[in-house]
Amino acid sequence: MGRPKLGDLLLEANLIDEVQLQIALEEQKLRGTRFGSTLIQLHFIDENVLTAFLSRQLNMPCVSFANLEIAPSVLALVPRGLALRFHALPIKSDGARLFVALADPMDLDTIENLEKVTGKSVVPMVAPQSSLEEALRRFYPEEAPESGGGEGAESGLFPELIREIEEMEVFGRQFQEIRDRLDRIEASLAEIRALLSGRKE
């Protein structure tokens, strides 16, 4: 595997040296992290410096999360599990385009996966990693554990299956359709149970 393009760009800009590049590549293999994240974790580059560099190099706006509000319909385009896995926060949807904040906007695999999931053309925006992680926690809070005996959709027959499908990018746009189908099946089973219960009485 060749070294990432980001590494060459940072070398050319004298923001890292060849030794740091090689160390980061080895650490990336061991940790399984993205190249930019590895550089930051090794303290070879400050995340704000990296963000500013990417913004200028790629002619891409930086995202400020200070007063940012995101429509629930936009957040729903990228399921929580995938957003956390890809470190990707959908910002706004504009027709066939989806603007997404990424710590590494040069990660073409992530962009391709997001396009497969959402069915939209992803327009990457760059964001500092720590700020992005904080924003992900804010916009995708941990789901509260289900209390026993509830009658909500998540406490029905298929919550685990639904969560599993939600986290599989291969289903992408078809997820809502599958979920609706499961809801209909569950409703039919509830009607059958009610009928059987009525006959016993």
Instruction: Give the residues across from 90 on adjacent strands.
Output: 100
What's the rounded Cα separation, in Å, for the pair 92 and 97?
A: 9
User: What's the rounded Cα separation, in Å, for the pair 25 and 197?
Assistant: 64
Average pLDDT over residues 118-130: 91
- pTM score, whole prediction: 0.59
pLDDT at 121: 95
Does 128 score more than 80 pLDDT? Answer: yes
DSSP secondary structure string, 137-172? Answer: HHHSPPPPPPPTT--SGGGSS-HHHHHHHHT-TTTG
What homologous superfamily is domain 72-139 in, according to CATH? Answer: Type II secretion system, protein E, N-terminal domain (3.30.300.160)
Domain limits, the chain: 5-45, 72-139, 153-200
188 compared with 88, residue with greater pLDDT? 88
pLDDT in tens, 40-84: 999 999 988 988 898 888 888 888 888 889 999 999 999 999 999
Asked if residues 124 and 60 have their Cβ atoms less than 8 Å apart, the reply is: yes
Alpha-carbon gap, residue 58 to 100, rounded angstroms = 15
pLDDT tens digits, residue range 141-196?
Answer: 987 555 444 444 444 555 555 555 555 544 455 555 666 677 777 777 777 777 77
